[in-house]
Amino acid sequence: MGIITVEKADHLYWLGRYSERVYTTLKLYCDGYDSMIDLDDSYYIKICELLDIPNIYNSKEDFITRYGYDRSDPNSILSNLLRAYDNAIVMRDEIGTETLAYIQMAVYGLEAAAASHAPMMRIQKVVDNLLAFWGCVDDQIDGRCVRGVMKFGKRVERLDLYLRFRRSPAELHRGYMRLVPRAKESGMPYNAEVLEKLKGIIDAPVVDYDAALVQLGQILNV
Partner 1 sequence: MYDLCRDADAINEQLARYGVKFGIYKNGVFKEQLFPFDAIPRVIDADEFAYLERGLKQRVTALNCFLADIYTDKKIVKDGVIPPEFIYSSTGYLAQCEGVRTPKGIASHISGIDLVQSKDGTWYVLEDNLRVPSGASYPLIARELCRRASPATFREMKIEDNRNYAGLLKQVMDYVNTGGDNVIMTPGRYNAAFFEHSYLAEKTGAALVTGSNLFVEKDMLYYLDYNGKKQRVGALYRRLSDEYLDPMNFLPESVIGVPHLFDVFRKGNVAILNAPGNGVADDKGIYYFVPKMVKYYLGEDCITHNAPTYLPYYEEDRKYVLDRFDEIVIKDVAEAGGYGVVFGNKLTRKEKEDMIALIKHEPRRFIAQDVIDFIDIDIMENGERTPRKADLRAFVLTDGDVSVWKSGLTRFSRNPDSFIVNSSQGGGFKDTWVLSR
Binding region for partner 1 (CB under 8 A) out of 1-9, 53-61, 198-206, 210-218? 1-9
Distance CA 159, CA 164 (A): 9
Rounded least distance, CB 119 to partner 1, Å:
21
Q: Can residue 3 be called a binding residue for partner 1 (CB under 8 A)?
A: yes
Q: How buried is 187 (Cβ within 10 angstroms: 0-12 exposed, 13-18 middle, 19+ buried)?
A: middle
Length of the chain: 222
* Residue 113 CB neighbours (<10 A): 22
Select 40 or 86, whichever has its Cβ closest to partner 1.
86
Q: Can residue 220 be called a binding residue for partner 1 (CB under 8 A)?
A: no
Tell me which of 15, 64, 78, 145 binds partner 1, using CB under 8 A: 145
Q: Can residue 105 be called a binding residue for partner 1 (CB under 8 A)?
A: yes
- What is the widest separation between alpha-carbon atoms in the chain? 54
Rounded least distance, CB 215 to partner 1, Å:
24
Select 119 or 148, whichever has its Cβ closest to partner 1.
148
Residues 23-62 that bind partner 1 (CB under 8 A): none
Residues 147-186 that bind partner 1 (CB under 8 A): 149
> Please, what is the end-to-end C-alpha distance for the chain in angstroms?
27
SS3 150: helix
Query: Under a CB-based contact definition with an 8 Å cutoff, are residues 1 and 143 in contact?
Result: yes
Q: Can residue 187 be called a binding residue for partner 1 (CB under 8 A)?
A: yes
Rounded least distance, CB 5 to partner 1, Å:
5
Residues 75-104 that bind partner 1 (CB under 8 A): 86, 89-90, 92-93, 96-97, 100-101, 104
Q: What is the dihedral of CA 208, 190, 218, 80, to 10 degrees?
A: -100
Select 134 or 162, whichever has its Cβ closest to partner 1.
134
Give the helix ranges, DSSP H, for the chain. Answer: 6-38, 43-51, 60-69, 77-89, 92-95, 97-114, 119-140, 144-164, 169-186, 192-203, 209-216
Rounded least distance, CB 186 to partner 1, Å:
10
Q: Can residue 143 be called a binding residue for partner 1 (CB under 8 A)?
A: no
Residues lying near partner 1 in the complex (CB under 8 A) are found at 1, 3-9, 86, 89-90, 92-93, 96-97, 100-101, 104-105, 108, 145, 149, 187-188
